[in-house]
Amino acid sequence: MTLFRLDASIRVEGSHSREIADIAEREWLAANPDADVIRRSVGTEPIPSTAWGTAAFAGYTPQEHRTPDQREAIRLATTLADELLAADAFLFAVPLYNYGVSQHFKSWVDMIITDPRFNPAEPPAIAGKPAILVTVHGGYYAEGTPRHGWDHATAWMQRILADVWGLDLNTVVSEFSLVGVNPALDEFKDLAATLRADAENRARELGRRLTIPSASR
């Protein structure tokens, strides 16, 4: 068994998304002690900002006419796609940045889609495989809160992972991670602790279930 794990946080120490993903990974490894883990940290080792455009145009350029930059972009896209194709289960840890999708995660997705094996017009190459998306919000955007609807990332990530790529996806959302950092949020300390505990428990449960086909859950 092989797990693919992607981290999009720009931090390592103190990263809430990494901490919660670690919980899910530990549970998965406990059930699969001899398994391999493929790691891709796009937050600390980002995809070059120009790579997607270069790879996209290279796809319309005959191989013999591709520039060195185009060949390198194609090589990178192939490597990224190969990592996904080699995995049996997936764990994505992607924080919410400025109310939208992490640019590092978006750049990675865009590169994957340039690979012909992940052409959205074709049947998904990794369809049906189990996956967990962990996303962390600094604020609180649940229904009924003043900023409900300000999370412009989670639905898009679910659209790509579940609808475009066909993964059997479950999501863990951890809210209010800025409580304890931003003094203006101190009054929500107890709520934040409860929300964090709920997210950790869900990550623990989903990590244990990650290799179980959805039909058997």
CATH number given to 2-216:
3.40.50.360
pLDDT in tens, the chain (217 residues): 999 999 999 999 989 999 999 999 999 999 999 999 999 999 999 999 899 999 999 999 999 999 999 999 999 999 999 999 999 999 999 999 999 999 999 999 999 999 999 999 999 999 999 999 999 999 999 888 889 999 999 999 999 999 999 999 999 999 999 888 899 888 899 999 999 999 999 999 999 999 765 544 4
- List the structure tokens of 203: 């990550």
Where along the chain do its domains lie? 2-216
Is pTM beyond 0.85? Reply is yes
Spatial distance between the Cα atoms of 49 and 19, rounded to a whole number of angstroms: 27
Spatial distance between the Cα atoms of 101 and 96, rounded to a whole number of angstroms: 6
Measure Cα distances from 26 to 3, 52, 100, 174 in Å.
Answer: 11, 33, 28, 18
